[in-house]
Structure 1
Amino acid sequence: MPCSLERSKSWCEMSTDFHKLLFDISESLATSELAALKFLSLEYISKWKLEGIRRPQDFFKVLQEKNMIEAGNLSYLKELLFCISRIDLLETRLGSSREEVERELQIPGRAKVSAYRYLLFQLSEDITEDELNSFKFLLGKELPKCRLNPKAAMLDIFIEMEKKGILGEENLSKLKTLCANINVSLLKRIEEYELKFGEEEMIITEEQSGSTGSPEAHARWPVTSVASDAPGSWDESYQLEVYKMTSRPRGVCLILNNHNFAKAREAVPELRRMKDRNGTDVDAAALRRVFSKLHFTIAEYKDLTAEEIRKTVNIYKCEDHKDKDCFVCCILSHGKKGIIYGVDGQEVPIQELTTSFTGRNCRSLAGKPKVFFVQACQGDACQKGVTIETDSGEQDSCIETDARFQLDCIPTEADFLLGMATLQDYVSYRSTRQGTWYIQALCQHLEYSCPRGEDILTILTAVNQEVSRKTCMPNAEKQMPQPSFTLRKKLIFPVN
């Protein structure tokens, strides 16, 4: 009897913990995210039942009734949170990670959300407000007017199209026609899906010929008949996804431009030889020009102390970026390994600035690219010159070593890019008339390559090549920039 009571108590505790977990997750979900979860579950829950669900708690209750989630099996819940890019909940509530779920979904048949429905969800995420209105206008004769009201989202339109029989897994022709008229890039996404999963079906059919079984639900990644770790098993038809970059404006481009370091020279004796950063305004002007062309809102702050840098970053961390696709921060200052200086000579760790914009700290940027460009030295060695200065800010030939620096500055979370002007331990160079080698090369290549559809990593490789060819005389000193990133998709800044 005691054993029976003990087991009963254990089961009750587990059940309580499970329901508390679901409650905590539901409290963190927005109305639009609930709509997305409902849409992704349409293969398992009827439309009429989903229409009656108004709260995440009720949605989770239905999933339990369907045995889709239970205390010992949360794989479907993990997949749903992964699909809607709530990686923060995946990590903090379910103890999983993006990489773990991605590996799990690579296993054929393991994904429960169909490739077709996930495609529609991704399209809905990429469609702008103007494009949504165009869809409603073009569907005016085929869908009930009451379903095309101003509050109807793109997922609502997809559901109505399915009800009318003009959209389905094997019926994408109407959607393709609409996309061809509204946004050709959406059409290309559908065609890529058809190509990828048409080939997948053929492969599965060939593998199962002669068997009585039928293929399970599509995985969202290409399936091949070769073991994934075998030589030559890479699917050459695989193409990286591209981050959504359609909002106007794309996002904020925050420029922190420190020029006058008189306060540092007065306040910190060891920095008394720190120079003003003549030429930095040339860099700031180039960044303003380029990122304005790329449809970013420019926010420039000049000559900030360390505390003012922190307060400024906190302002943009707390902003609502939900209608924006990206965040860019350009830092122009003196620095040393892993830090930048405020104009008062106080230090701000680069990691502190980048970590402010993780999904946990800035939820409206979760799943979106966060890009940082840092023009500052990362070592204390100085190269003397007449018109060429370094951005170490100090006249000291001592160089420290710390091989872990670069890994510490960028968050381990996905969707970050950190472009450093120089390698760890080394100086970067600045012309007092023409600006810095790095920022000038970066702006020139962005201006040239973005209209040609080049992705940011290709552009940064070209920047590396150009800067590495420059030489600082008389001792033939060199500079090599270093990008670090956890991007999951191609990052392309469209000009149009």
Structure 2
Amino acid sequence: MEFSRCLYIISEALATDDLAALKFLSLEHIPLRKQEGIQEPKAFFQALQEKGLIEVGNLAFLKELLYRINRMDILAYQLGCSREEMEKELQIPGRAKVSPFRYLLFQLSENITTEELKCFKFLLGRELPKSKLNTENTMIDVFIEMEKKGILGEDNLKVLKTLCEKVDKSLVKKIEEYELNLCGEEEMLITEGQSGNIGVTEAHARRLTSSVAPDSPDSHSESSQLEVYKMTSRPRGVCLILNNHNFARARAEAAELKMNDRNGTDVDAAALKKVFSKLHFEIAEHKDLTAEEIRNVVNIYQCEDHKDKDCFVCCILSHGKKGIIYGVDGQEVPIQELTTSFTGRNCHSLAGKPKVFFVQACQGDARQKGVTIEVDSGEQDSSVETDARFQFDCIPSEADFLLGMATLQDYVSYRSPSQGTWYIQSLCQHLENSCPRGEDILTILTAVNQEVSRKIDKHNAGKQMPQPSFTLRKKLIFPVN
């Protein structure tokens, strides 16, 4: 009963595109003719059971499939398995059951935008029947039809490479990496086979594991480069700016907080809009939001379909303290509540894609007074805390998040009423200068750390140290072109 209940819960959590991906990755084990009658996850699980691929006490293949389609939320919450555990497991020869070829095609389908899919269908107009190239057909559907036609196979990638050359050359690199791995593996198998060191069964297992865990350091040679997040969609995604300036309502409703207006924040917002527009993001600015309005806006973008976007960026400009930001009504919103809204479980269309948060707000009450320099702390008269640090986790443990905090926990951040904040101004300047050079975001944020840490509030010798934290699995680069 526990086994059946587990499969039922997982089936309820899977979306239609998840099922299509699972079926595609299982084609070597469940033939297409059998799959055509499968329209829901429960029927798919039944087919796996009939083939002996999953059973009580053995859900290894299901775990692998969920790992491959990046449903880490189900893997963790329902099957108690982490990404790291799966990567180690799949390094063991013979454990991987999804073929490298099938996984290659799935990865390509995940990296192809809606416009690129239209191009593929147009270019295949003479090869495939028009009925198989309608608007409802996905890239996975197209791959299946290409296999049926005999123009795509494990050792037949010529047509696919030609198409990718015309549509998006970055896709060709993945195919070439697959071919290189395959050739190297086959050469090794031949050598070992001739010397009598390897059997047929183990040779097949080696081939299956040749492209396992592409994001694991162990799956690459030491000289290979770290994989880069896809960043080709137009627009790249939404850049949501939550810009709180006027705190008159907070002063009226919670006079004890004594929150000043955040003069200079519009300078920051303008700089963010300028740089992220150049980086091909769709800008969405919301000003002077209460705590409840912040939650409502975030919920709108959480529920939005981001499947044709490569990234999501959220910039928060407000007063704050440890682990929270303030609405203009003086009410608190935990930062982690906002970031967790965009996990793969809560926003499936952003699963596997980078979610970037920049927070310009104080994270404590330790402050320095100034004349032209103000601090983004909500409580202007609070006592300084230095000996009782409050630890918090602002980003989820799930992958693909980056959180850039203006300052360390417990400390204030500085803002000029005329020139904006130290952190946001430095961030925007470095993004504008470094993105055209192809530098990744962590390199850029390190440069921001260096610049901001050198600044000083001359009136009080105040310093500021930004703090990025992340669960990124790949390099994050924002191309200008």
Length-normalised TM-score, structure 2: 0.91
TM-aligned CA distance change 1:477 to 1:195, over 3 Å: farther
AA aligned opposite 1:257: N
Are residue 436 (structure 1) and residue 426 (structure 2) matched? no
**Aligned counterpart, 1:236:** 222
AA aligned opposite 1:285: A
Q: Number of paired residues?
A: 471
Q: Any idea what the Cα deviations from partners look like across 1:18-42, whole Å, max 9, x if unmatched?
A: 2333233223322222221111111
AA aligned opposite 1:34: L
AA aligned opposite 1:90: L
Q: Distance in 1 between matches of 2:139 and 2:212?
A: 27
Deviation at 1:82, TM superposition (A): 1.2
**Aligned counterpart, 2:251:** 265
Deviation at 1:380, TM superposition (A): 1.0
Are residue 37 (structure 1) and residue 22 (structure 2) matched? yes
Q: Distance in 2 between matches of 1:265 and 1:203?
A: 72
Q: Helix, strand or coil: the match of 1:408?
A: coil
Q: Helix, strand or coil: the match of 1:192?
A: helix
Does the CA-based 8 Å contact 1:38-1:59 persist in structure 2? yes
Q: Helix, strand or coil: the match of 1:329?
A: strand
- Which of 192, 196, 218 lines up with 2:177 in the alignment? 192
- Which of 236, 247, 263 lines up with 2:233 in the alignment? 247
Deviation at 1:401, TM superposition (A): 4.7
- Which of 219, 223, 226 lines up with 2:209 in the alignment? 219
**Aligned counterpart, 1:350:** 335
Deviation at 1:113, TM superposition (A): 0.7
Does the CA-based 8 Å contact 2:192-2:198 persist in structure 1? no
Structure 1 gaps, min length 5: 1-15
**Aligned counterpart, 1:5:** none
Deviation at 1:73, TM superposition (A): 0.7
Deviation at 1:157, TM superposition (A): 1.6
Deviation at 1:118, TM superposition (A): 0.7
Q: Helix, strand or coil: the match of 2:397?
A: coil
Q: Identity of paired residues, percent? A: 73
Alignment of 1:57-72 (within 5 A): 57-72=42-57
**Aligned counterpart, 1:454:** 439
Q: Distance in 1 between matches of 2:26 and 2:100?
A: 12
Deviation at 1:278, TM superposition (A): 0.9
Does the CA-based 8 Å contact 1:381-1:395 persist in structure 2? no
TM-aligned CA distance change 1:206 to 1:473, over 3 Å: farther
AA aligned opposite 2:209: A
**Aligned counterpart, 1:136:** 121
**Aligned counterpart, 1:296:** 281
Alignment of 1:29-428 (within 5 A): 29-208=14-193, 209-214=195-200, 215=203, 216=205, 217-219=207-209, 221=211, 235-272=221-258, 274-393=259-378, 394-396=380-382, 398-401=384-387, 403=389, 405=391, 407-428=392-413
Deviation at 1:68, TM superposition (A): 0.8
Q: Distance in 1 between matches of 2:354 and 2:257?
A: 36
Q: Distance in 1 between matches of 2:478 and 2:387?
A: 36
**Alignment RMSD, CA only?**
2.3
Q: Any idea what the Cα deviations from partners look like across 1:182-206, whole Å, max 9, x if unmatched?
A: 1111112212222344334444554
TM-aligned CA distance change 1:206 to 1:466, over 3 Å: farther
Q: Distance in 2 between matches of 1:430 and 1:220?
A: 52
Does the CA-based 8 Å contact 1:389-1:432 persist in structure 2? yes
Structure 2 gaps, min length 5: none
Length-normalised TM-score, structure 1: 0.89
Q: Distance in 2 between matches of 1:402 and 1:350?
A: 20
